[in-house]
Amino acid sequence: MTSTEQLTGERADLLQTLRKHRGFLLHTVNGLTDEQAAARPTASELCLGGLVKHVTTVEHRWMLFAVGGAEAMERVEIDWVGQFQMAPGETLAGLVERFQEVADHTDELLTTLDLDTAHPLPQAPWFESGASWTVRRVLLHLIAETSQHAGHADILRESIDGARTMG
């Protein structure tokens, strides 16, 4: 039994919800070829592999923030356009493997992080100036981000081959 399976209360609820929405995203890409994962079957620039890549990057960066604040988060550069696309040589299997590595690391961190620890947000036009987020708020953000992109993925998957996550 891993230490994450022993969690209770709010911490267990947050982790269970994050895992549920990660599972929706992974279910949506299950069984796809690399070509299907890289396809953009709608008017959007989004592809399924790119969504997995983006959610991985977001979770990794926000957990760096949860541990070390904005400075730690900003040490990892972000490709604002490329993060939503599969680059030449990338495979869906590789993207899913990295997604799982980041998820496992987050799950382990959640066993020890104080949910009330807060850090000032990075300077960005989309953040309120001078605001801080707690680890709890970071987790809520990751749940929302993962859930939103799992919904995007469901639409893309249905456009590719008619498969749906639910229903």
b/e sequence 102-125, b meaning 16+ C-beta within 10 Å: bbeebbeebeebebeebbebeeee
What pLDDT does residue 27 have? 96
Domain that holds residue 40: 18-161
Determine, yes or no, domain membership for 7. no
Report if pTM > 0.85: yes
| Mean pLDDT within 148-156 | 95
Name, of 3-7, 60-64, 108-112, the range with top average pLDDT. Answer: 60-64
Instruction: Count how many domains the chain has.
Output: 1
12 within some domain: no
CATH number of the domain encompassing residue 116: 1.20.120.450
**Mean pLDDT rounded to a whole number for the chain:** 93
pLDDT at residue 134 greater than cutoff 80: yes
CA dist 36 and 91 (Å) reads: 11
- On the question of pLDDT at 1 being above 50, the answer is no
Examine the pLDDT at 167 and tell me if it is beyond 60. Answer: no
Evaluate if residue 151 carries a pLDDT over 70: yes
Mean pLDDT of 80-95: 94
Tens of pLDDT, residues 4-38: 567 789 999 999 999 999 999 999 999 999 999 99
Does residue 166 lie in a domain region? no
- HSE, side-chain direction, 13 A CA sphere, residue 156: 28
Residue 80 has what pLDDT? 85
Please check whether residue 10 lies inside any domain of the structure. no
Is residue 4 one of the residues assigned to a domain? no
How far is 156 from 41, CA to CA, in rounded Å?
6
In-domain check, residue 167: no
- Residue at 31 is within a domain: yes
User: Does residue 112 belong to any structural domain of this protein?
Assistant: yes
